Structure 1
């Protein structure tokens, strides 16, 4: 069955079609959620809430982007909502007074594995990890990230700059063996 037919049937509350659409996207969206919340149980809860929201708001899906991209945005928003509910996110006073990040400067002097990069990203403080993930992994720009997180673009750029610095620091520790 074509995806457009599947979506059409889902709009008519066809439970079989909804289950087929769920099965098609659940694994990928689970991994998206897991990048943000780090715990399987939380990611599963977010995934369920995201699908409930997607099915209830399916009439808002216009097909301008792929269904997967539309659903991914819902999952990411649910993750951000979960994180905000779990812990109040705050912007430090000094974040507005730091120079802006150079978005293109992500190179390292030496080779590191993807597993090391992923582990280093996971170890970043939450507010930096969120911005780095949204920017590097999801491909959002500063304006979109600031809207998603409810922070200013300056704070977004500052967090990206600091997150990038901390990420490079961790990777250098791994490469040169100076870490603990």
Structure 2
């Protein structure tokens, strides 16, 4: 039996409130979802709470999911939304900047060169950035969201999203240049 068929069967059972099926789905996805949450909230207990709430939401709203093959990415979005909401409770992270003019160019700044740095060192530098920079770079580079998805998740305008990510990349580049 392929994993695709198995997850479809488990999710069908989850729709019927089968606790064993829910536990199996939880076990299959909990570690990956915890990692997503932790990279955003940077707190073990909060990340655990976010994951628990995300699974409750997913199981409650499972009838809204049209394609079971998309369950993992759908759950990841739920975890991401809930993680960002937790950040917003404590801080004013990602509050749109008022009255700032944004200039978009057709060309992206040169990409960050990490060939000489270990991935763990890059994560260390990302974690030293301001919260909104760290969050957006995590969503973009680590979680793989594109600008449109980040705009949807964060509520930022497209221009603000691109500008903030560009500034975050530049800030990261400067930090990495000091230690390279």
TM-score for both structures, normalised by structure 2: 0.89
How many Å separate the matches in 2 of 1:174 and 1:67? Answer: 40
Is 1:166 paired with 2:154? no
- Mark the runs of 5 or more structure 2 residues left unpaired by the alignment: none
Unaligned runs of 5+ in 1: 176-180
Q: 1:16 to 1:146 in 2, by over 3 A?
A: same
State the Cα distance separating 1:101 from its structure 2 match. 8.2
- 2:139 is matched with 134
Question: C-alpha deviations, 1:24-64, integer Å up to 9, x for none?
Answer: 10011000101000010110010011001001001011116
Task: Confirm or deny that 1:105 pairs with 2:110.
Answer: yes
What whole-Å deviation, never above 9, does each CA across 1:115-171 have from its counterpart, x for those lacking one? 111111111111111111111122222222112111111110111011001111111
Superposed CA RMSD in Å reads 2.0
The answer to whether the Cα contact below 8 Å between 1:10 and 1:55 also exists between their aligned partners in 2 is yes
Matched residue, 1:86: 90
Q: How many residues align?
A: 175
Matches within 5 A, 1:26-37: 26-37=30-41
Q: Is the 8 A contact 1:47 1:75 kept in 2?
A: yes
Measure, in 2, the Cα distance between the counterparts of 1:148 and 1:142. 10
Change (3 A) 1:66 1:94: same
Structure-2 residue corresponding to 1:71? 75
Match of 1:14 in 2: 18
Q: Does 1:5 align with 2:9?
A: yes
Deviation at 1:4, TM superposition (A): 0.7
Q: Is the 8 A contact 2:109 2:166 kept in 1?
A: no
Report if aligned partners of 1:128, 1:160 keep a CA contact under 8 Å in 2.
Answer: yes
SS in 1 for 2:17: coil
* Cα shift at 1:83: 1.2
- Which residue does 1:54 correspond to in 2? 58
